Amino acid sequence: MTRIAGREKVMSFLNYLISGLSLGSVYAIIALGYTMVYGIAKMLNFAHGDVIMVGGFAVYMSMNALGLNPILAVIVSIIVCTVLGIVIEKVAYKPLRKATPLAVLITAIGVSYFLQNLALLIFGSDAKLFTSVVNIKAISLANGQITITGETIVTIVVCIIIMVVLSLFIKKTKAGQAMLAVSEDKEAAELMGINVNKTISLTFAIGSGLAGIAGALLCSAYPTLTPYTGSMPGIKAFVAAVFGGIGSIPGALIGGLLLGVIENLSKAYISSQMADAIVFSVLIIVLLVKPTGLLGKKISEKV
């Protein structure tokens, strides 16, 4: 009897772990957008979470109003979010290139509230039932004691693919090398003939396109959609980016996965009401113990 109870506990733990990896993969995709923008433009785009919400609504409208299949709906979401990211950068952030970090932060919060209220005006405050974009059947293991949903499989695989492709893009392409140069020194990069404004716009476009994918996957796993859907996941993804080392692509992946696992296990074994507090406690501990994050690099300030 004790052995059976122990086996059930192990299986429950594995189910929570798998679910946490799925959630963490979504956080990681969102965190990649944060870490790219910060690593290259040296600014925190706190409106990123609301771009995820826009991506979710783009998929919802594409499937329900236009009747598109899930793949085309996700492509529409990526396009909408990419264009939105470029517009936000041009209108809200480009005029603040020389401004203080506080001014940029306040602007980002303003853009976030603008997107939320715009969504409220268009779609209302009622939660929309989201149809999953994933059609893969769940996999059962250990005589049905472990279940891996199709959403979990797709989310984890997509997360790994995105990280690999982004890493190769940064290392192997001219645009990626330009991003690295701008992240090191904007003025020097400009003297070398790199178009800094174009490079930063490209960074926002890529980060926002990833938000479109994250919105589709997040709403597929948790099938409700409101104008506030992206707020908390966006903040938690920022915590994941800091945890892994903001500015590091592998760090965003590791931070997102760890944070998703921590959150899910906290809900299961401590308290569902305390889970968010535990997640943010991780941020405080990381900042106290290792401010640069797990894979972050120390940046020397020029005086």
Q: What is the pLDDT of residues 57-96, one digit of tens each?
A: 999 999 998 888 999 999 999 999 999 999 999 998 888 8
**How high is the pLDDT of residue 302?**
47
What's the domain count of the chain?
Answer: 1
Return the SS3 of 124. coil
Structure tokens at 85: 């990211």
| Residue 56 confidence (pLDDT) above 70 | yes
Q: Is 43 helix (H, G, I), strand (E, B) or coil?
A: coil
Contact call for residues 202 and 71 (beta carbons, < 8 A) = no
pLDDT confidence bin for 46, thresholds 50/70/90: confident
Residue 291, domain member (yes or no): no
Flag whether 74 is in a domain. Answer: yes
Domain assignment of residue 293, yes or no: no
Check residue 299 and give its pLDDT.
54
Burial of 283-301, coded b for 16+ CB within 10 Å and e otherwise, reads beebeeeeebbbbbeeeee
Rounded mean pLDDT, 184-213: 87
3-state helix/strand/coil string of 192-235: CCCCHHHHHHHHHHHHHHHHHHHHHHHHHHCCEECCCCCHHHHH
Q: Is residue 135 part of a domain?
A: yes
pLDDT band at 3 (very low <50, low <70, confident <90, very high): low
| Residue range 228-246: mean pLDDT, rounded | 86
Strands 128-129 and 224-225: antiparallel
Query: What's the distance, Cα to Cα, between the start and end of the chain in Å?
Result: 68
Confidence label for 301 from pLDDT (cuts 50, 70 and 90): very low
Distance CA 68, CA 21 (A): 29
Backbone dihedral region for residue 67 (phi beyond 0: left; psi -120 to 50: alpha; all else: beta): left
Judge whether 6 lies within some domain.
no
Name which residue leads in pLDDT, 101 or 204. 204
Position 265 in a domain:
no
How does residue 184 score in pLDDT terms, banded at 50, 70 and 90?
A: confident
Residue 65, in any domain of the structure: yes
Q: How far is CA 93 from CA 35, 87, 202, in A?
A: 16, 9, 13
For the chain, give the percent of residues with pLDDT over 90: 19
d(CA 86, CA 208): 8
Q: Which of 139-148, 192-201, 294-303 is least confident?
A: 294-303
| pLDDT at residue 145 greater than cutoff 80 | no
Does residue 303 register a pLDDT over 60? no
Domain that holds residue 183: 17-230
Residue 286 pLDDT level (bands cut at 50, 70, 90): confident
Q: Tell me the percentage of the chain whose pLDDT exceeds 70.
A: 94
Contact between 26 and 216 under an 8 Å Cβ cutoff? The reply is no
**The model scores a pTM over 0.85:** yes
Confirm whether 108 is domain-assigned: yes
Q: How far apart are CA 26 and CA 9, in angstroms?
A: 26
